[in-house]
C-alpha cells in the first residue's frame, strides 16, 4: 500500500453556529445552542462559548439550557446550512483534483502526487484560507498519509487551525490521545475499552492485534489498525445526487386498493431507508400514477427536510389518494424524493420526536445486520421486489426487469 499518500481532512468549525453568525453578527462571541427547541429536542450544534459550560452536541436540549441558561437557542435552518455547504464544496471542487464530501461540513481531499509541483501542505493551507476568506466560515484541517490520522488531526487542530502529521510520526502523534478520538469508537466501545483499562491510544498500540480481536471481534481489529495509524481506505470522489426514485409497473393492471396502498407504503419506506443510509434528507416528494390507458399523472409536495418514515409515508399516501381518482385499472405507480441534501446524521438531531428517531435507528440497525427487508411496515409485506440498491455509494443501479410478474 502506498505509504506516501497525502490525505487532507477538512471540517468546518461549529458549522451550524458559524452559518447563523454569518447571517447575524450579533451572535458572535455568544453561547449558542442549535437544535430541537422543545423539551424533548437535542442539541445539534453548539458554540465554543456554550461548550465551556459542559454542553456538547447530542445532549438533550433541556439539560443544555440548564447548564447554560444565558445561551441563545435557535431552531436551525437546514436550507441555509445546505447553501453554505454548497459554497464551500464549490471552492474545493475548483481547487483540487479529487475530493470526498463525507457530510454537510466535512471533506476528504487526496493530494497525492501534488507534492512535486506545489507542496501539499502549502496547497491545503491556501485552500483553507481561500474558504475562510470567501465564505467567512472558520474551517480546520489535518494532513497525513491517511483518512483516519487526518481526521483525528483535524480534531486536535480545532478551532480554526491546521495540523500536519509528518510521514512516519503517526504512532507517536496518536499515542497520548484518548481512545475516544478514534472515529469509530462510540459510547459502547469506549466503555468496553475502559473496562479493559484502556484509555489512551498508546495502550492499544502496545497490545497484540490478536488480543483486540479476541475481546472486541472484527471491530477490535479495525480499532487496532486505526490506533496504529493504519488506514488504506481511499478517498471516494463525490458526486451529488439530487433525487432518488422507484417505480413499479404491474404485471397485471390492478384496481386492488390494498395492494396499491401496500406497495406505495413499501416504496416510500424503502426510499426513506436509503436516504438515512446515505445520510441524506429530502424536501420534496413526488407521486406518479399511470392508468391502463397510459394517461400519467404526477403531483409533488414540498416538506421540511426529513428522512423519517413517519413524516414521509403519510405525505406519499396523501398524494396517492389525490391522484387515484379514476375508475380505471392502474398500470404503474412511482415515488420520487428530490431536493436532497447532505448530513442526515447531524440534521436528524433537529428531530423533536425522540421516540420516532430511536425507532428509525433501531429498525435501520436490524436491516443493516439482517438485510433490507428484515423489518418492514406490515402494510407493505406483499411488495416483494423493492430495490436493495444503495444509490449513494457511487455504484450504478442494478438493471431491474421493468414488468414484474
Ligand atoms: Mg464540523
Identify whether 125 is part of a domain.
Answer: yes
Binding residues: 11, 105
Q: Categorize the per-residue pLDDT at 69 as very low, low, confident or very high, splitting at 50, 70 and 90.
A: very high
Task: Report the 3 state secondary structure along 91-128.
Answer: HHHHHCCCEEEEECCEEEEECCCHHHCCCHHHHHHHHH
Q: Categorize the per-residue pLDDT at 351 as very low, low, confident or very high, splitting at 50, 70 and 90.
A: low
Q: How far is the CA of 355 from the centre of ligand 1 (A)?
A: 26
Element (H, E) at 265: helix 257-277
Q: How far is the CA of 217 from the centre of ligand 1 (A)?
A: 30
Q: Any idea how long the chain is?
A: 405
Q: How far is the CA of 52 from the centre of ligand 1 (A)?
A: 18
Identify whether 206 is part of a domain.
Answer: no
Identify whether 173 is part of a domain.
Answer: no
Q: Categorize the per-residue pLDDT at 362 as very low, low, confident or very high, splitting at 50, 70 and 90.
A: confident
Residue 404 is predicted with a pLDDT of: 37
Residues 254 and 373 in one domain: yes
Of 8-17, 84-93, 168-177, 303-312, least confident by mean pLDDT is 303-312
**Active-site hit among 100, 106, 170, 342:** 106
Q: How far is the CA of 158 from the centre of ligand 1 (A)?
A: 10
Of 284-298, 312-326, 363-377, least confident by mean pLDDT is 363-377
Among 136, 159, 188, the domain-final residue is 136
Plot region of 54 (φ>0 → left; ψ -120 to 50 → alpha; else → beta): left
Residue 238 is predicted with a pLDDT of: 82
Q: Categorize the per-residue pLDDT at 82 as very low, low, confident or very high, splitting at 50, 70 and 90.
A: confident
Q: How far is the CA of 301 from the centre of ligand 1 (A)?
A: 31
Binding residues for Mg(2+): 11, 105
| Number of domains composing the chain | 2
Percent of the chain scored above 70 by pLDDT?
Answer: 90
Among 84, 110, 136, the domain-final residue is 136
Q: How far is the CA of 103 from the centre of ligand 1 (A)?
A: 9
Q: What is the CATH number of the domain that holds 302?
A: 3.30.1490.100
For residues 325 and 268, the answer to whether their CB atoms sit within 8 Å is no
Bridge partners, 46 (sequence order): 33
Residue 346 is predicted with a pLDDT of: 56
Residues 250 and 370 in one domain: yes
For residues 289 and 296, the answer to whether their CB atoms sit within 8 Å is yes
Q: How far is the CA of 190 from the centre of ligand 1 (A)?
A: 22
Q: Categorize the per-residue pLDDT at 233 as very low, low, confident or very high, splitting at 50, 70 and 90.
A: very high
Identify whether 34 is part of a domain.
Answer: yes
Identify whether 31 is part of a domain.
Answer: yes
Identify whether 356 is part of a domain.
Answer: yes
Whether the predicted pLDDT of 110 surpasses 60: yes
Identify whether 93 is part of a domain.
Answer: yes
Identify whether 189 is part of a domain.
Answer: no
| CB within 8 Å of 181: residues ≥ 6 apart | 152, 155, 156, 174, 201
Q: Compute the average pLDDT of residues 237-247.
A: 86
Neighbouring C-beta atoms of residue 390, cutoff 10 Å: 14
Q: How far is the CA of 195 from the centre of ligand 1 (A)?
A: 30
Residue 361 is predicted with a pLDDT of: 80
Q: Categorize the per-residue pLDDT at 107 as very low, low, confident or very high, splitting at 50, 70 and 90.
A: very high
Concatenated DSSP letters for 184-201?
Answer: T--HHHHHHHHHTT--BH
pTM of the model: 0.75
Among 81, 101, 136, the domain-final residue is 136
The yes-or-no answer on residue 126 being catalytic is no
Q: Compute the average pLDDT of residues 249-278.
A: 89
| CB within 8 Å of 304: residues ≥ 6 apart | 78, 283, 311
Domain range for 254 = 243-380
With residues binned 3-state (H G I as helix, E B as strand, rest as coil), the percentages for the chain, rounded to 5, are 45, 20, 35
pLDDT digits (tens, 9 = 90+) for 132-186: 999 999 999 999 999 999 999 999 999 999 999 999 999 999 999 999 999 989 8
C-alpha torsion sign, points 234, 185, 305, 325 = positive
Q: How far is the CA of 8 from the centre of ligand 1 (A)?
A: 14
Comparing 141 with 79, which gets the higher pLDDT? Answer: 141
Of 40-49, 263-272, 341-350, least confident by mean pLDDT is 341-350
Q: Compute the average pLDDT of residues 332-359.
A: 75
Average pLDDT over the chain, rounded to an integer? 88
Of 66-70, 90-94, 278-282, least confident by mean pLDDT is 278-282
Whether the predicted pLDDT of 402 surpasses 50: no
Q: What is the CATH number of the domain that holds 109?
A: 3.40.1170.60
Of 204-213, 256-265, 353-362, least confident by mean pLDDT is 353-362
User: Shortest CA distance to 266 belongs to which of 320, 302, 221?
Assistant: 320
* CA–CA distance, 133 with 156 (Å, rounded to integer): 22
Q: Compute the average pLDDT of residues 239-251.
A: 86
Amino acid at each position: 500500500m502506498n505509504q506516501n499518500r497525502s490525505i487532507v481532512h477538512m471540517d468546518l468549525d461549529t458549522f451550524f453556529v458559524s452559518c447563523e453568525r454569518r447571517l447575524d453578527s450579533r451572535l458572535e462571541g455568544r453561547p449558542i445552542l442549535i437544535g430541537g427547541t422543545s423539551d424533548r429536542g437535542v442539541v445539534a450544534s453548539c458554540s465554543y462559548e456554550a461548550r465551556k459550560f459542559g454542553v456538547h452536541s447530542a445532549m438533550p436540549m433541556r439539560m443544555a439550557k440548564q447548564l447554560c441558561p444565558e445561551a441563545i437557542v435557535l431552531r436551525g435552518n437546514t436550507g441555509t446550512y445546505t447553501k453554505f455547504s454548497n459554497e464551500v464544496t464549490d471552492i474545493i471542487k475548483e481547487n483540487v483534483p479529487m475530493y470526498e464530501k463525507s457530510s454537510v461540513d466535512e471533506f476528504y481531499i487526496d493530494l497525492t502526487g501534488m507534492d512535486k509541483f506545489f507542496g501539499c501542505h502549502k496547497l491545503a493551507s491556501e485552500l483553507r484560507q481561500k474558504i475562510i476568506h470567501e465564505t467567512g466560515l472558520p474551517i480546520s484541517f489535518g494532513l497525513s498519509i491517511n483518512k483516519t490520522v487526518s481526521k483525528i488531526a483535524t480534531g486536535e487542530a480545532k478551532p480554526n487551525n491546521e495540523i500536519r502529521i509528518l510521514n512516519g510520526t503517526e504512532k507517536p502523534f496518536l499515542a497520548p490521545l484518548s481512545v475516544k478520538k478514534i472515529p469509530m469508537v462510540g459510547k459502547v466501545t469506549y466503555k468496553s475499552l475502559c473496562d479493559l483499562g484502556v484509555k489512551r491510544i498508546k495502550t492499544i498500540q502496545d497490545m497484540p492485534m490478536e488480543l483486540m480481536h479476541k475481546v472486541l471481534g472484527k471491530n477490535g481489529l479495525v480499532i487496532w489498525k486505526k490506533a496504529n495509524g493504519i488506514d488504506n481506505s481511499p478517498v471516494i470522489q463525490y458526486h451529488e445526487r439530487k433525487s432518488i426514485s422507484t417505480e413499479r409497473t404491474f404485471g397485471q393492471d390492478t384496481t386492488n386498493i390494498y395492494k396499491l396502498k401496500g406497495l406505495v407504503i413499501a416504496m416510500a419506506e424503502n426510499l426513506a431507508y436509503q436516504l438515512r443510509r446515505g445520510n441524506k434528507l429530502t424536501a420534496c416528494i413526488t407521486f406518479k400514477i399511470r392508468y391502463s390507458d397510459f394517461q400519467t399523472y404526477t403531483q409533488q409536495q414540498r416538506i421540511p427536510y426529513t428522512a423519517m418514515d413517519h413524516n414521509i409515508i403519510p405525505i406519499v399516501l396523501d398524494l396517492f389518494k389525490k391522484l387515484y381518482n379514476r375508475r380505471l385499472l392502474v398500470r404503474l405507480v412511482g415515488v420520487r424524493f428530490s431536493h436532497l441534501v447532505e448530513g442526515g446524521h447531524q440534521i436528524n438531531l433537529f428531530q423533536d420526536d425522540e421516540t420516532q428517531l430511536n425507532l428509525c435507528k433501531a429498525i435501520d440497525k436490524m436491516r443493516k445486520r439482517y438485510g433490507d427487508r428484515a423489518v418492514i411496515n406490515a402494510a407493505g409485506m406483499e411488495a416483494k421486489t423493492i430495490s436493495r440498491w444503495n444509490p449513494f455509494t457511487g455504484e450504478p443501479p442494478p438493471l431491474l426487469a421493468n414488468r414484474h410478474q
